[in-house]
């Protein structure tokens, strides 16, 4: 999911381009401002962290772009492309390494396991919103 800072800074096209160029398949995508309850659920694992309030207020502050990405090792490949959570630690060539400087405003979120992907996808998309098509590489 491209976060509000990524949308506001006009990075959506460049991020989507990287995902497609890698050979991964975007099967769902939308722009939405997350409601508070969805944001809290999305980040439920961080609910006891001191930064939780700031995280929820930032992620609901403007539109985000959730996506469903499929392909070989999609979760780990996306996490590699995203780079380290802290953009100042992320390698150049990664999305956070190239586009971010701030831990809170780190441009993109990626699911960290099949279980969290399933849970997060259900927060943003209905079954009928997932497309099926063949990628030609």
Pairing of strands 67-70, 25-29: antiparallel
51 scored as a contact of ligand CMP (CB under 6 A): yes
Task: Let me know the angle formed at the C-alpha of 77 by 101 and 125, rounded to the nearest 5 degrees.
Answer: 85
Which lies closer to ligand CMP via its Cβ, residue 103 or residue 127?
A: 103
Instruction: Please name which of 71, 97, 81, 60 lies closest in space to residue 16, comparing C-alpha atoms.
Output: 81
Q: Which of 40, 104, 116, 125 binds ligand CMP (CB under 6 A)?
A: 104
DSSP SS3 for 110 = coil
Question: Largest Cα–Cα distance in the chain?
Answer: 45
Q: Which of 81, 99, 109, 124 binds ligand CMP (CB under 6 A)?
A: 109
CB of 54 to ligand CMP, least distance (A): 6
42 is catalytic: no
The answer to the question of whether 40 is labelled as a binding residue is no
64 scored as a contact of ligand CMP (CB under 6 A): no
- Per the CB < 8 A criterion, the answer to whether 79 and 112 are in contact is yes
Q: Which residues bind ligand CMP (CB under 6 A)?
A: 46, 51, 55, 85, 103-104, 106, 109
């Amino acid at each position: 999911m491209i976060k509000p800072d990524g949308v506001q800074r006009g990075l959506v096209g460049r991020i989507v381009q990287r995902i497609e160029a890698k050979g991964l398949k975007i099967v769902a995508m939308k722009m939405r401002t997350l409601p508070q309850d969805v944001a809290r659920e999305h980040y439920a694992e961080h609910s006891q962290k001191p930064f939780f309030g700031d995280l929820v207020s930032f992620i609901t502050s403007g539109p985000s772009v959730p996506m469903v990405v499929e392909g070989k090792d999609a979760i780990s490949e996306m996490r590699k492309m995203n780079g380290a959570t802290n953009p100042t630690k992320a390698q150049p060539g990664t999305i956070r390494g190239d586009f971010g400087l701030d831990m809170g405003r780190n441009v993109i979120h990626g699911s960290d396991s099949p279980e969290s992907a399933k849970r997060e996808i259900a927060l943003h998309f209905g079954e009928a919103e997932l497309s099926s098509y063949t990628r030609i590489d």
